[in-house]
A = this chain, B = another copy of it.
Amino acid sequence: MASKVPIDQPEAKTTVNPAAVREAALTLFAERGYHGTALSQIAGVLGIRTPSLYNHMRAKQDLLRDIVSETTEQVWADYEQAVEGVDDVVERLRRAARVYALRHATHRREALIVNRDIASVEEPARSRVLELRRRHAQAIKGLIDEGVREGRFDEPESTLAAFGILEMCVSIARWFREDGPQSAETVADTYSTYALRVAGLG
């Protein structure tokens, strides 16, 4: 028998744990989609066999559901925090757009998965996610309406504008590179300006 004395510190080797599984799933789901990713590929990235994954997760669907649900909850929390205590409606929309844009630059994989594979999330999680997204879009629409009433914005089609603003921010996840010429913060600032323009800032 080879000397395999148990010691307190394990050999310096990457530990596989639930967080590592999620991290691998995040990358692969974002690249190939939920249905385009096999658990054997996730296992491969981690250097283990497929059945060993089940020491760290319950099911493939759980990986997707957790990623989509947590991301969507955080988007809503971001929004609430961004506008909290801010009275000026222009500044409220600017901050709401900025924080949404920023998240899409800093959490690209999560954003891509939410926007691509939301239909593959099983109930009841899917309904909860869709409800949160509706609420977010409604909140943005409400800001535009409010600004129009106050004479700060000029855009009667607030629903169309709200969708346009949000999806413009989502697009950041498709092309942003961390090592690119612009920082996430700069891009977020720029896109929040676009949001105000779409709303018809006077």
Contact = CB atoms under 8 A, between A and B. Distances in A.
Q: Which residue, A34, A35, A168, A197, has most C-beta atoms of chain B within 10 A?
A: A168
B187 A160 contact: yes
Contact of A120 (B34, B36, B171): B36
Given A190-B157, A194-B161, A198-B197, A31 B119 contact: yes
A200 interface: yes
A198 B97 CA distance: 14
Interface of A: 31-36, 116-117, 119-120, 157, 160-161, 163-168, 170-172, 174-175, 182, 187, 190-191, 194, 197-198, 200
A160 B116 contact: no
Contact of A190 (B35, B116, B160, B170): B160
